[in-house]
Structure 1
Amino acid sequence: MQTAKQLIDGRWLTHVSGGERIGQAINPATGDVAALFCDGTAAEAEAAVAAALRAFDNTAWKRSPRLRAEVLLDFAAKLDARKEEIADWLVTLNGKLRREALGEIGAGISELRYYAGLARNLFGRVLEVEPGCYSSLDREAAGVCAIILPWNAPVTLLVRSLAPALAAGCTVVIKPACQTAVVNNMVLECMTGDTRVPAGVINSVIESGADVSRYLCESPDIDVISFTGSSAVGKLIAQNTAPTLKRLSLELGGKAPAVVFADADMDKTVAGLVAGGMVMAGQQCTAITRVLVEDAAYDAVAQKLVAALKAVKVGPGNDPASQMGCLIDVRNRDRINALMDTAQATQRVLLRGNVPGGALARGAFIEPSLVEVQDLSSDFIQKELFGPLLVIERFSNEDEAVTRANATRFGLAASVWSSDMKKSRRIAARLRSGTVWSNSHNRLFAEAETGGFRDSGYGRLHGAEGLNDFLQTKHFYFETNS
Structure 2
Amino acid sequence: MPADLLACARIGRRRLAAAGTFASTDPATGAHLGDLADSGAEATQAAIEAARRCFDRSLWAQSPRLRQDILLAWASGLEAAMEDAARWLTLTNGKPLFAAKGEIAAAVSEIRYYAGLARHNPGHAMEVAPGEISVMLREPAGVAGIIVPWNAPAVLLIRSLAPAIAAGCTSIVKPAPQTAAFTERCLAPLLDLPQLPEGAVSVLPESGHAVAQAMVESPDVDVISFTGSNEVGQAIMAAAAPTMKKLSLELGGKNCCVVLEDADVAAIAPKLAAAATIISGQQCTAARRVLVHESRFAETKSALAAALSGIRVGNGLEAGTEMGPLITVGARDRVRRRIEAVFDAADEVVLRHDVLEDAPAGSAFLTPSLVAHRDPKADFCQEEIFGPMLVIEPFADEAEAVAKANDTVYGLSASVWTNRGDAAWRIARALRDGTVWINDHNKLFAEAETGGYRRSGLGRLHGFDALLDFCELKHVYQNVGVVGA
C-alpha separation between the residues in 2 aligned to 1:189 and 1:361? 32
CA contact (8 A) 2:39 2:205 kept: yes
Q: Equivalences for 1:431-470 in 2 at 5 Å?
A: 431-470=431-470
State the alpha-carbon separation in 1 of the partners of residues 384 and 123 from structure 2: 41
Q: What is the distance in 1 between the residues matched to 2:407 and 2:308?
A: 26
Decide whether aligned partners of structure 1 residues 240 and 320 sit closer, same or farther in structure 2, where only a CA change above 3 A counts.
Answer: same
Give, as a single letter, the amino acid of the residue that structure 2 aligns with 1:13: L
Q: Which residue is equivalent to 1:146?
A: 145
| CA–CA separation in structure 2 for the residues paired with 1:239 and 1:93 | 31
SS of 1:359's partner is coil
| CA deviation vs aligned residue, 1:26-81 (integer Å, no higher than 9, x gap) | 11011121121111223322111110000001111111111111111111111110
- Equivalent of residue 9 in structure 2, options 6, 12, 18: 6
- What TM-score comes out, normalization by structure 1 length? 0.97
CA drift of 1:185 comes to: 1.2
- Do the aligned residues in 2 keep the contact of 1:355 with 1:361 (CA within 8 Å)? no
Identity %: 47
Say if 1:10 and 1:202, in contact at 8 Å, map to a contact too. no
Secondary structure of the 1:154 match is coil
CA distance in structure 2 between the partners assigned to 1:233 and 1:294 by the alignment: 36
1:460 and 1:466 in contact (8 A); partners too: yes
1:9 is displaced (CA, Å) by: 5.6
Q: 1:320 to 1:50 in 2, by over 3 A?
A: same
CA contact (8 A) 1:222 1:246 kept: yes
Q: Tell me whether 429-438 or 33-42 shows the greater mean CA deviation.
A: 33-42
Superposed displacement of residue 376, structure 1:
2.1
CA contact (8 A) 2:450 2:461 kept: yes
Are 1:340 and 1:352, in contact at CA under 8 Å, matched by a contact in 2? no
Higher mean displacement: 355-364 or 219-228:
355-364
Unaligned runs of 5+ in 1: none
Q: Could you report, residue by residue, the CA deviation over 1:174-233 in whole angstroms, capped at 9, with x for unpaired residues?
A: 111011111111111111122221110001111122211111111001111100000000
2:386 is aligned to 386
Identify the residue that residue 275 of structure 1 maps to in structure 2.
Answer: 274
Amino acid at match of 1:232: E
* Alignment of structure 1 residues 337-352 onto 2, 5 Å: 337-347=336-346, 348-352=348-352
Task: Please give the per-residue CA displacement for 1:303-334, whole angstroms capped at 9, x wherever unaligned.
Answer: 01111111111100011121110000111221
Output one character per residue of 1:287-315: Cα deviation in whole Å (capped at 9) or x when no partner. Answer: 00111111010000000111111111110
Deviations 1:65-119 (A, max 9, x none): 1111111111111111011100000100001111111111111111111111111
* Partner residue in 1 for 2:61: 62
Tell me the equivalent position of 2:355. Answer: 355
Which residue identity lines up with residue 176 of structure 2 in the other structure?
A: A
1:120 to partner: Cα distance: 0.8
Give the Cα separation in 1 of the matches to 2:186 and 2:442.
Answer: 23
Amino acid at match of 1:311: G
Counterpart Cα distance in 1 of 2:115 and 2:234: 32
Contact 2:12 2:199 in 1 (8 A): yes
How many Å separate the matches in 1 of 2:181 and 2:410? 31
**What's the CA shift for 1:360?**
4.4
Q: Counterparts in 2 of 1:417-432, with a 5 A limit? A: 417-432=417-432
1:385-434 deviation digits (Å, cap 9, x = unpaired) = 11111111111111110111111111101000011111011001111110
Rate the CA distance shift 1:459–1:435 in 2: closer, same or farther, 3 A: same
Amino acid at match of 1:8: I
Partner amino acid for 2:17? Answer: T
- In the TM superposition, what is the alpha-carbon distance from 1:4 to its structure 2 partner? 1.0
Residue of structure 1 in register with 2:158 after alignment? 159
Q: 2 CA distance for matches of 1:362 and 1:204?
A: 29
Counterparts of 1:235 and 1:366 in 2: how far apart (Å)? 29
Residue 36 of structure 1 aligns with which residue?
Answer: 35
* 8 A contact 1:3–1:182 mirrored in 2: yes
Please state whether the residue corresponding to 2:460 is helix, strand or coil: coil
| Match of residue 247 from structure 1 | 246
Cα distance, 1:128 vs structure 2: 2.3
Q: Quote the Cα distance in structure 1 between the aligned partners of 2:362 and 2:214.
A: 37
Deviates more, 1:2-11 or 1:458-467: 2-11
Report the Cα distance in structure 2 between the residues aligned to 1:463 and 1:204, rounded to whole angstroms. 24
Instruction: Give the secondary structure class of the aligned counterpart of 1:289.
Output: strand
Deviates more, 1:210-219 or 1:37-46: 37-46
The aligned residue for residue 307 of structure 1 is: 306
Look up the equivalent residue of 1:442 and give its one-letter code.
N
Instruction: Kindly indicate whether residue 216 of structure 2 is the aligned counterpart of residue 213 of structure 1.
Output: no
Residues 47-126 of structure 1 correspond to what in structure 2 (within 5 A)? 47-126=46-125
CA distance in 2: counterparts of 1:216 and 1:392, whole angstroms: 41
Figure out how many residues of one structure are paired with residues of the other and give that number: 478
| 2:196 aligned partner | 197
- Other-structure match for 2:408: 408
Please give the alpha-carbon distance, in whole angstroms, between the structure 1 residues aligned to 2:378 and 2:40. Answer: 40
Partners in 2 of 1:212 and 1:149 — Cα distance? 12
- Residues 146 and 225 of structure 1 are in contact (CA less than 8 Å); yes or no, is this contact kept in structure 2? yes
The residue type equivalent to 2:204 in the other structure is: V
* Deviation sequence 1:441-473 (CA, Å, 0-9, x none): 001000000000111001000111010011112
Provide the residue aligned with 1:170 in structure 2: 169
Q: Helix, strand or coil for the counterpart of 1:93?
A: helix
For 1:342, give the aligned amino acid.
Answer: A
Q: Which amino acid aligns with 1:157?
A: L
2:154 alignment partner, SS class: helix
Q: How much has 1:361 moved relative to structure 2?
A: 5.3
Residue equivalent to 2:237:
238
Unaligned 5+ residue runs, structure 2? none
Give secondary structure in 2 for the equivalent of 1:3: coil
Deviations 1:152-191 (A, max 9, x none): 1111100000000000010001111011111111111111
Corresponding letter in the other structure for 2:217: E
CA distance in 2: counterparts of 1:172 and 1:33, whole angstroms: 30
The answer to whether residue 323 in structure 2 is matched with residue 327 in structure 1 is no
| Residue 478 of structure 1, CA deviation | 2.8
Distance of aligned partners of 1:195 and 1:438 in 2 relative to their CA distance in 1, 3 Å threshold: same
The answer to whether the 8 Å contact 2:142/2:222 transfers is: yes
